[in-house]
Amino acid sequence: MAGLYIHIPFCKQACHYCDFHFSTSQNLKDDLVNALCMEIEMQKNYLERETIDSIYLGGGTPSLLSSHHLQGLFDVVNKNFITNNPEVTLEANPDDLTKENLAALKAVGINRLSIGIQSFDDEILKFLNRTHSSNDAFLCLERAREAGFDNINIDLIYAIPGQDSDLLKNNIKKAVAIAPEHISAYSLTIEERTVFGKQMKKGIFAIEPEEVAASQMEILMNDLSTVGYDQYEISNFCKPGFYSRHNSSYWQQKKYLGIGPSAHSYNGLSRQSNISNNSLYVKSITQGKIPCQVEVLTTANRINEYLFTTLRTVWGCDLKYLLKQFSYDLLKENQQALDTLLNHELVVITNDILMLTQKGKLLADKIASDLFAAE
């Protein structure tokens, strides 16, 4: 089974922290959707006829598309790919989810919503330059349930300056009260070309210290597990059985095809990424050329990606798989680093599966890089 990602690169306004590819001008919307349909046709053999079990519309803000646009995209997908009862997720902002919009999304086949709530505090939402209020967040959840959506993710952000641990706890309570099936929680990171990045360069914005981010992550882990959410990946929590099929496929090294500007694809041996520019993307596609760069992965790349992604998950890193797939014996190749991590109780090995401990989860990226294979 494989995944299909479609990038919708438009937003109403730029959030101060966001480094994704999007444009706040929607002039090119019709042309871009036409180009997406053309690229789907052009890429129909990328997955070598593997069946698709998840389709993900991300962005940007896919909830800015009309049902006419969405239906057009799904028609082309169904004409060119074999699908099997796919999970079909659409990323949405709360202020786009009107009653009429939700009914239209349901009618075209969206069966999972991923809603960018980020915080339930109006001051924090303003600080982040979000377009919605906390009231919009509550209302859109109610309306989504009324429209029949029974698989909903909400995104939250922690380690935001001004959102202290009490405010975070309050946010978690509010999130739990609206009972989404899935919660993704990300630490605020600062990227150079964002408003926060520019303010940081001028010295008028400071990120929270690492200890604050770690202690807020601990709060999330504790508070969400107490009320029955499984932390199946460092940043992802769900009610039993509601794993995101799409995200899990990334972590399980399944193949996926990314359509649209800035979208990435992976076929097991290489990664390719499309140009992050809407007009150049449309121009190239209409000339029959996919504007992408291809990176052929080395064995060390593939080992390290496997380590990095699987260590973050509840399924852990399978040492036998590493040996079988890459002839890489982690126990021998990186014995010293592994011993140190075991002695510090940051990882455990059970039945040849290497996993992070609760303490290790707070240092996941550093631990993975300590274990990376050399090029």
Burial of 192 (0-12, 13-18, 19+ CB in 10 A): exposed
Exposure class string for 199-213: b at 16+ Cβ within 10 A, else e:
ebeeeeeebbeeebb
Close Cβ partners of 233 (under 8 Å, ≥ 6 residues apart):
247, 248, 251, 312, 313, 314
Candidate segments 10-18, 35-43, 252-260, 324-332, binder of ligand SF4 by CB under 6 A: 10-18
**Residue placing its CB nearer to ligand SF4 in the complex, 18 or 77:** 18
**Cα diameter, the chain:** 59
140 token code pair: 């859109």
- 56 makes contact with ligand SF4 (CB under 6 A): no
CA-nearest of 194, 189, 113, 192 to 154 is 113
Stretch of 53-61, 279-287, 296-304, 306-314 contacting ligand SF4, by CB under 6 A: 53-61
Residue 1 binds ligand SF4, judged by CB under 6 A:
no
Distance in angstroms (rounded) separating the CA atoms of residues 175 and 297: 40
- For residue 163, give the nearest of 198, 125, 131, 199 by alpha carbon: 125
Does residue number 11 form part of the binding site for ligand SF4 (CB under 6 A)? yes
Closest residue to ligand SF4, based on beta-carbon distance: 18
Structure-block tokens of residue 212: 């604050």
For residue 125, the minimal CB distance to ligand SF4 (Å) is 11
Residue placing its CB nearer to ligand SF4 in the complex, 60 or 291: 60
User: Do residues 157 and 127 touch, judged by C-beta distance below 8 A?
Assistant: no
Smaller CB distance to ligand SF4: residue 195 or 323? 195
Q: According to the binding rule CB under 6 A, does residue 14 interact with ligand SF4?
A: yes
CB of 15 to ligand SF4, least distance (A): 3
Fill in the amino acid letter for 81. Answer: F
Residue 340 beta carbon to ligand SF4: minimum distance, rounded to whole angstroms: 38
Q: Among residues 118 and 248, whose Cβ is nearest to ligand SF4? A: 118
State yes or no: residue 116 binds ligand SF4 (CB under 6 A). Answer: yes
State the binding string over 15-34 for ligand SF4 (x if CB under 6 A, else -): x--x-x-x------------
**Per CB under 6 A, 334 contacts ligand SF4:** no
Among residues 89, 93, 187, 249, the one that binds ligand SF4 under rule CB under 6 A: 93
Q: What pairing do the DSSP bridges indicate for beta strands 112-118 and 317-318?
A: unpaired
Cβ distance 235 to 186 under 8 Å? yes
Helix (H) or strand (E) holding 3: strand 2-8
Q: Which is nearer to ligand SF4, 115 or 224 (CB)?
A: 115
Q: Does residue 124 bind ligand SF4 (CB under 6 A)?
A: no
Whose Cβ is closer to ligand SF4: residue 16's or residue 69's? Answer: 16
List contacts with ligand SF4 (CB under 6 A). 11, 14-15, 18, 20, 22, 59-61, 93, 116
